[in-house]
Each structure stands twice: as structure tokens, then as C-alpha cells.
Structure 1
Amino acid sequence: MAIAIFVSAAEIDICVPSFPDIKNLFNLSAFSVEMILSVNLIFHCIAAIFVGNLADKYGKRKIMNFGFLIFALGTLLCILSKNYPTLIIGRIIQGIGSSAPMVLAPLFIMDLYTNKQKQEKMMNILNGICTIAICTAPTIGSYATLVWNWQANFTILLAFTFVALFFNLFLPKSTINTQTSKVNFAEYKIIFSSKLPMMYILSCTIAIGLYYTFVGMAPIIYINALNVDLKHYGFYQGALTLAFGIFSIISPLITNILGKKTAFLASISLIFSFLASYAYIIINNVQNPLFITLSTLLLSIGAVIPVNILYIGSLSSIPNMQGRISAVLTVLKWVFSSIGIQIASYFYASNFISTGITMFVMEIISLSIGFYIFKLDKNFRQSLLASKSKN
């Protein structure tokens, strides 16, 4: 499962460092080149709606493996593409295939562990693996593009895909529901009409989406606007997501030492520091890549614990709806990522301002919904305020 989530996460941005090369090769606008990422995410969202039902009918492991085969086909098409439309089609197919491991991996955790604290711990580890994949991918992609060409990114992905398929053979088989045959959109209506679950889902997915807005826009900004060479770009991008990945893995230990309340409040303090720093960047049109990276690092670390709490809260908010909620989380996560990327790229003016404003507004919205949850959900409020350090 770790390998599966690693590959499906790495595919998000391993090709992102090559965007400037693709932009020049096909003579694309910033908006068009960002579509290489956005169409992948959009069709990932569409496919995610159906993954839960298919997994119930045919089994999680089988659907995950089938998803990787589709992903491999799309990756091969990207490698062989000689023009922009073919590359876009390949990215669409990749998005469809990668939806299976993204949706199903959290469900394996929910199946294997019934204790909520254990679920949170394993979800932290899973998110850490996911983010480490995202952090190493730009570095791999940067050097692959530098040494070979932009197609090399997809060749590496194809190799990792077959490794993931091999390890997926050892995943446990799941219970199959032979009566499940099609997507029941009425079940999704239950989720969207439930106030508190939707608050959890929206706060969580907007918070994730604003970070991926940065991931998607970073290569155009750093390389084209801030004049960072490809060799060093991977380190800027990698430092952010590596911090998130490492902190995701060790956050259960930190929470145990400090207590859930203190750890949560410390995280919120980092997020407010991020907002203050970004306000300074936007107002003063700061174009220093190191300062922008350090400011975003506050978000990378500060978002870990709140996002994991919101994620688990979302999955457990409606009984017997985990598969559907996981699909909704996946869909909205990439929808908000795509919206953020396209807004930032549409208003892009060879500086960081459009991306900074987009991320700032998204974080304010996510925080506002989060505070509303704190006010609305008595159980969440009591569990957070009553928690203490174990030392």
C-alpha cells in the first residue's frame, strides 16, 4: 500500500519541473501549461466517484491494480507524445488510473485498524509517505529533465508503476458486495446535505488544495519569474514537502508528548504566522525565492495536525459511508487544487502575487470553516480541550 500511494502521489508533480521546457517546446501560455496538471486532477476526480462502488463490487485490491494498469497506459502515451493534445490525453488517462490508490488506501487503514487513535496514527504515516513522494518527485523530475528530457519523468513513473503492481499482490483481500452494481448518487446527496460532515470535508480539502496550488505554480514562478535554475528548484520544492512528510510521520509522537490541545494550538499558530508572512510578501511584492520558501514552510508544518484531524473526522462523520466520503474527499481535494491553480495561472504576471493571494484567501476560508466546526461540534471541542500530555 505504501508503494501504491507513493507512485500515485509522485505522479502529481514529478513532471512539474519540466513545465518550462514543455511551455517553450509547444509554445504554450502559463494557463495552458498548467492544464497539464489540472486535467489530470479533474479526471482523477471524476473517476474517484466510481472507485468506491467498484471496490465494493470487485474488491479493493483488484480495483487498485486495474487502476494502475490504466495509469501505465496513460504514462506510456505521455512518453510517446509528440504534441500538446496527445500529452493532455495521456495525462487524462493517468488521472483516471491514479484515482484508485488515492481513494482506496485510506480505506485499507480504516479496515485494518478499528481504534480511532491508531487510525489517526496510521493516517499520519500514510500522509507522510504521500507527501514524501510529492517532495522527492520534483527533485527526481528536475534532474531527469536536466540530464535527459521531460519524457524521462514519465519513464520513471512507468517503472515505479510496475513495482507498485508487484507489491499490491500482497495486499489483503477485502469483502465483496455482489449486490453493488452502480453508483448510487442518492448516497452522495446524503453527504452533501449533511451540514457538519460537509464542514469537515470542505475545511480539509480547501486546506490541501491551497498547498497543491503552490506545488502546481511553483516551477513557473521559481524558474521563469525568480530565475531559479532547474538544478536548485528541486531543493526549494523538496524542502517544503519533505518537512511536511517528516512532520506527518513524527506528529503522533509530538501529539503524545505535548497533548492534542497544545499540538493543535501550536499548529494553528504556525498557520497564522504563514498568513502574516504571505500578507507581507503580497503587499511588498517580495520576489526572494528563499523568503517565499521559508514562509510556505510554516504552512507545510502547521497544516499537518489540523488536516489529519479533519480527515479522520470526515471519514467517521457518517456511519457506513466511509467509501463515499473518501471519494468526496479525493474529488474535492483535486477540485480545489485545480481551481486554485487555474485562478493563479490566469492572473499570473511573472511574479508570485497571484499565487500568494489565491493561497491566502483559500487558507482564510479553510480556517473560518474550521472555527465554525469547533463551535458546532461539541464532541470535537470536548475531545480537543480535554486532551493532555502523556508526560
Structure 2
Amino acid sequence: MNDTARHPPKLGMLVFILATLTAFGPLSIDMYLPAFPQIASDFRTSISTVQLSLTSFFIGLALGQVFYGPVIDRYGRKPPVYFGLVVYGLASVLCALSPNAETLIFGRFLQALGGCAGMVVSRAIVRDLYEERDAARVFSLLMLVMGVAPILAPIVGGYITLHWGWHAVFGLLSVISLVCLLAVYAVLPETRGPNPSIKLSSALQTYASIAKSRRFMGYTISGALVQAGMFAYITGSPFVFIELFKIPAENYGWIFGSNAFGLIAASQINVRLLKKTSPETILKYSFGILALASVSLVLATVAGLGFWGLVVPLFIY
């Protein structure tokens, strides 16, 4: 453990900065969801085209995490964060000033590439600074923020969209990135410096060996299928609730936030179940509940049960 690790900054300040960096993902995804119909109207484009701005963000997020993993080990923790926050801030400005949907889609891709730097580095810094028990405590605080961010982001985004338009949402995100950049520079320590002995090419070999693990790929594909359903909901729900059910944009965030609350509750239940039950058993029952919720959604749609017929199964999902 290095000298910085032996004298870490105050826990409250550290958690605040790292939590903000960690929350870039949910903030960037959820804050602009209430603005989907307004964006489609302003650009005179289709719903599916606006949804591509979310798809491009997910692609950038996936590629960025693969990229930053070996980079932060090779070049240290802080330089990649500086780079990522600058890219994120400029991309947010590009999104705010987008003259058409194509520019917005590209800007969202760049935004994800920049934003995921903080998400990757924050976890690495915790491992650098703390031993296993203390690290678990800090991670639990970070995960709490990850749960709260999806609740607050669409609510804040809905009110911003109502009063100042969707451009202001990306303006706020650019300001947040600037504040984080200053905080990282002034407060956050460099917990692991550059290591020239690490070759970026070796990361490809590591990724290849992991991909050959059937156990790893089995869990990965299972989790991906579940996440696919959730992201399908994230992508389509603004139009369903705001356009179809005529829910005001500022109220959409409360509906979306209730599902995020369900994620927090489920994660806490999962922690307690793991003390008495194996992960495999929990997975089996979880997939059963997911299947039941999915069938309920289909039946509710066919039967035309309306708003509550969709909201309740979605919460269970």
C-alpha cells in the first residue's frame, strides 16, 4: 500500500467525489429520458431515431470500460479521469447544441466514452486506498448512490425539460463534469502512478482467456438477457408513458424512480438471502420471477389493462 493509501482523504469527501464519478452512467441515461418526446418533436424525427441516442450511449459505455481497464493500470488513476471528464464535458456541450438527431447520437457516444472513465477509476481507487473490510464499506456507500441516482435523475430531468427544454439537461451535465474535474484535481489523490512495465496488449490476452470460461460466459449471458429487458424498458418507457398514457414529462420521473427504488429494495433483499442461500438457488428463483413478470406484461398488454397493468409487472421485473 502506498503512502497515499496509508493517509486517505476524509471518507465523506472521498465518497462524495467517487460517488459522483460513479453516478455519471445513471445520470447520463436517466436524466434526459423525460425529454424524448420533445427531442423527437424538435428534430421532426421518429421515436426510433431518438432511441438510437441511447443505443449509442450504451455502445460507448461498453467499449469505454474495456478500454479504460488496462489504461488506468498503465498510466495511473488521475490522467485517464482528466481525459474522460474533458471528453464528457465537451460531448455534453455538443449534445446540447445538436442541430439534428445524428449529431446528438454521435455526441451521446462520445459522452459515454468520457463518462465511463470515472466509473472505472472510482472502483480502482477504493481498492488502492482501503483494505478489504473498509473497501467493502466504501463500496456499499457508492452502490447506495448508484441506487439513488436513477430515482432522482429522471425527476430532475423532467422538471428541467418542462421549464428550460431538453438542451438544458445536457448543459447541466456539462457543468457537473466541470465541477468533478476541479474536485478530482484539487482533492482526489493519485493512488497508483504510471507503470511502464504494463503492456496494453496483454489486456487483450486476458480478455480472451476470460471469454473462454464457460462459467463466466454463462453468468454474463444470463445477466445480459436480464439487463436487455431493463434497457428495453428504459428506451421505450418515455414514449409509452408520456405519449400514450399522457403522463406529464415532469411526472414521468416519479414512475421511473419507483422502479429504481425496486432495484434498491431487491439488492438489499439479495444481501440478506446470500447469508443463507447459494447464489445459484437465488438465480433460479429470480429467473422464475422474471419469467412470471414478463408473461404478466404480455397478458396485460393484450388485455388492455392500461397504466397499472404495466406498472406493477414492471416493478416486479
TM-score by length of structure 1 reads: 0.67
| Count of residue pairs the alignment pairs up | 295
User: Counterparts in 2 of 1:273-292, with a 5 A limit?
Assistant: 273-285=289-301, 286-292=304-310
1:65, CA displacement in angstroms?
2.6
Residues 57 and 139 of structure 1: is their aligned pair in 2 closer, same or farther, counting only changes over 3 Å? same
Residue 236 of structure 1 aligns with an amino acid whose one-letter code is I
Pick from 149, 170, 177: which aligns with 2:165?
Answer: 149
Residue 61 of structure 1 aligns with an amino acid whose one-letter code is K
Residue 225 of structure 1 aligns with an amino acid whose one-letter code is L
Pick from 191, 212, 228: which aligns with 2:247?
Answer: 228
Residue 182 of structure 1 aligns with an amino acid whose one-letter code is L
**Is the partner of 2:45 in helix, strand or coil?**
coil
Q: Which residue of 2 aligns with 1:241?
A: 260
Residue 277 of structure 2 aligns with an amino acid whose one-letter code is K
Q: Which residue of 2 aligns with 1:164?
A: 180
**Is the partner of 2:23 in helix, strand or coil?**
helix
Residues 228 and 283 of structure 1: is their aligned pair in 2 closer, same or farther, counting only changes over 3 Å? same
1:242, CA displacement in angstroms?
2.8
Q: Which residue of 2 aligns with 1:34?
A: 51
**1:213-232 C-alpha deviation (Å, 9 max, x unpaired):** 21121101111223222132
Q: Which residue of 2 aligns with 1:132?
A: 148
For the 8 Å contact 1:144–1:153, the answer to whether it is kept is yes
**1:249-301 C-alpha deviation (Å, 9 max, x unpaired):** x558x618x834199967865653443233133134245233322222223xx
Residues 41 and 142 of structure 1: is their aligned pair in 2 closer, same or farther, counting only changes over 3 Å? same
Pick from 199, 202, 208: which aligns with 2:218?
Answer: 199
1:57 equivalent in alignment to 2:74: yes
**Is the partner of 1:28 in helix, strand or coil?**
coil
Give 5+ residue unaligned stretches, structure 2.
Answer: 1-17
Residue 34 of structure 2 aligns with an amino acid whose one-letter code is P
Taking the aligned partners of 1:9 and 1:209, their CA distance within structure 2 comes to 16
For the 8 Å contact 1:75–1:154, the answer to whether it is kept is yes
**Is the partner of 1:261 in helix, strand or coil?**
coil
Identity of aligned residues (%): 24
User: Counterparts in 2 of 1:1-391, with a 5 A limit?
Assistant: 1-115=18-132, 122-169=138-185, 170-175=187-192, 176-184=194-202, 185-245=204-264, 248=267, 250=268, 255=272, 259-261=275-277, 269=285, 272-285=288-301, 286-299=304-317
Taking the aligned partners of 2:315 and 2:280, their CA distance within structure 1 comes to 17
Aligned Cα RMSD in Å?
Answer: 2.8
1:119, CA displacement in angstroms?
5.9
Give 5+ residue unaligned stretches, structure 1.
Answer: 300-391
Residues 297 and 280 of structure 1: is their aligned pair in 2 closer, same or farther, counting only changes over 3 Å? closer
1:100, CA displacement in angstroms?
0.9
Q: Which residue of 1 aligns with 2:10?
A: none
Taking the aligned partners of 1:136 and 1:14, their CA distance within structure 2 comes to 8
